[in-house]
Amino acid sequence: MSYRIVGVIGGMGPAATVHFMSRVLDLTPAASDQDHLRLIVDNNSGVLDRNAAVAGNGPSPAPVLAGMARGLQRAGAEMLVMPCNTAHAFAGAIVAASDLPFVDLIEATTNEAVAHQASRVGVLAADGCLQAGLYQHAFARRHVAPVLLELRAQARFMALLHAIKAGDRGADVRAGMQTLAADLVAAGAQALVAGCTEVPLVLGAEDVSVPLTDSLDALARATIAAAGRTP
């Protein structure tokens, strides 16, 4: 049986892309090598800063993302995914650049989060993702209220995010992320979303007191399904 070839618009950041590939592998029902999906990956760490672009402080990464989409299609991809939450602020450029189906990470994650039937969902996400309103709009369409960190806590989140991107996944970073997750629960969140693909590298379901939706796992499951497998 053949499955769609998956083109991965990656590198944002590189470790998150590799982890996404690992989760696709782990979640695919397979008894042999041939049962797994073919992934064509552009792990392009040179994609321009998404947070700066959303804030109006830097150039848009949209042309680079569109070029990656076209390159993956030329390489044989039959569908596209992008394991970066904030970059979905520029997803329109990807859709316009290619006629391939695009699996939306924000939609996949939000769909899984609302399955917990929580009326208030805490979102751990980067500044650009929040400034673009990606999860706020997605949850509003589903009549769910997002719970966000207050400004100083959000600044701590960004500091932790940069530490993870720099390769630090140590105890202090993990404890810091757990504290921020607990802050959202204390603010009324009945469930949580790891809305940045670096968050699952240091925070798991066992670290929080409410259901946690991992955006990388949500995208992995949606990718497997869209490619023609049942995760």
The pLDDT tens digits of the residues spanning 19-39 come to 999 999 999 999 999 999 999
Tokens of 161: 């995010």
- Structure confidence at residue 1 (pLDDT): 62
- Residue ranges of alpha helices (H) inside the chain are 14-27, 50-55, 62-74, 91-97, 105-114, 127-131, 134-141, 151-165, 171-186, 215-226
- What single string gives the DSSP state of each residue in 129-149? HHHTTHHHHHHHHTT-EEE--
The domain segmentation of the chain, as residue ranges, is 6-104+218-226, 106-215
CATH 3.40.605.10 fits 6-104+218-226, yes or no: no
Task: Let me know: does 219 contact 81? Beta carbons within 8 Å.
Answer: yes
Name the catalytic one among 84, 103, 108, 192. 84
What's the rounded Cα separation, in Å, for the pair 126 and 207?
Answer: 20
Task: Let me know: does 202 contact 219? Beta carbons within 8 Å.
Answer: no
Tokens of 199: 């968050």
Give 120's strand partners.
145
The 8-class DSSP code of residue 37 comes to: P
Band (230; pLDDT cuts 50, 70, 90): low
Q: pLDDT tens for residues 35-78?
A: 999 999 999 999 999 999 999 999 999 999 999 999 999 999 99
**106-128 as b/e, with b when 16 or more CB fall inside 10 Å?**
bbbbbbbbbeeebebbbbbbbbb
Give 63's strand partners.
none
Band (87; pLDDT cuts 50, 70, 90): very high
Residue located via tokens 């259901």: 211
Q: Is 80 helix (H, G, I), strand (E, B) or coil?
A: strand
Q: What is the mean pLDDT of residues 109-128?
A: 97
Q: Is 124 helix (H, G, I), strand (E, B) or coil?
A: strand
| CATH T-level fold of 106-215 | Rossmann fold (3.40.50)
What's the rounded Cα separation, in Å, for the pair 204 and 194?
Answer: 9
Name the catalytic one among 54, 118, 196, 201. 196
- Structure confidence at residue 158 (pLDDT): 98
Q: Is 129 among the catalytic positions?
A: no
Same topology, domains 6-104+218-226 and 106-215? Answer is: yes
State CA 183 to chain mean position distance: 21
Tokens of 167: 């390769």
